[in-house]
Amino acid sequence: MAFALLFLVLPTLNLVVGAFQDAAGNPTLANLAKLFQPSILAAYRISIEVSAASAFLGALIGFFLAYAVVKGSLPEWVRPTLMTFSGVASQFAGVPLAFAFIATLGRLGLVTVFLSDWFGLNIYRYGFNLLSFWGLTATYLYFQIPLMVLIIAPAIDGLKREWGEASTVLGASRWQYWRMVALPVLFPSLLGCFLLLFANAFGAIATAYALTGSSLNIVPILLYAQIRGDVLHDPNLGYALAFGMIVITGLSNGFYIWLRGRAERWQK
């Protein structure tokens, strides 16, 4: 509780109070009004798009991976191996992850050079750019997919075999079982996982900053520039940007908790 108070609650309260103060400490709404500048709105839009894209793809791929190891007829060693890897990979982010992707998919990365030398395929000539929207999205997928595997696996475990057997006895097809039984039961968990992945990507800064620098104008990088930068230095505007991020991620996490509660009631 002391750790959470010192490193989570008090810094958050400081950001919220600072968002409603000017440089002299006087109350003001000017900082929030500045959030509606075109450049700041564009930063929020790009951040939301990157977060939504990585959350959707991470949820989709992660779901099929989790279903394969939980319900698929795979060797027993596959599930603990995947879960162990997912536990590690879901926490691998920041500068090390950015460096790993630059060393792998950068202009002189291992995979880039391999494809060019052995197959004559220059992925950058065909429009791929690691320092772009889809490049950052692909980088985020490295920790989004494993996180999805970890949090959706218990929900898939909750699908009882008797439900499938009962639907088969009653003459339902496999598609009807998924459409009328499995998906309605899993839908709160799937939507909740998507929101959690969205919030996870929306607040990431170290990976994005180390990978793209200032070439991609997302909110965490703009916030960093306002608080720590020499050119755009306006700490209170940075606090307002952080306050906007808190609202968005708070809503995402709040809906996730609500949906998780509904999913748990369904599975009981």
pLDDT of residue 231: 58
Q: Please tell me the distance from the alpha carbon of residue 153 to that of residue 64, in angstroms, as a whole number.
A: 10
Position 25 scores a pLDDT of: 82
> Has residue 197 got a pLDDT over 90?
yes
Average pLDDT on 75-100 reads: 90
pLDDT band at 267 (very low <50, low <70, confident <90, very high): low
Note whether residue 24 is domain-resident: no
pLDDT of residue 205: 77
Domain CATH for 227: 1.10.3720.10
Question: What is the average per-residue pLDDT within 137-157?
Answer: 93
Question: Residue 230: what pLDDT?
Answer: 57
Residue 77 in domain: yes
pLDDT of residue 120: 87
Q: In terms of Cα–Cα distance, which of 220, 217, 222, 242 is closest to 233?
A: 222
CB atoms within 10 A of CB 245: 20
Residue 23 inside a domain? The answer is no
Please check whether residue 7 lies inside any domain of the structure: no
133, part of any domain: yes
- Distance in angstroms (rounded) separating the CA atoms of residues 140 and 204: 9
Would 244 be classed as within a structural domain?
yes
**Residue 14 domain-assigned (yes or no):** no
> What confidence tens digit (pLDDT) does each residue in 43-79 have?
899 999 999 999 999 999 999 999 999 988 888 899 9
- Its domain, for residue 134, covers 30-267
- Name the domain count of the chain: 1
Confirm whether 4 is domain-assigned: no
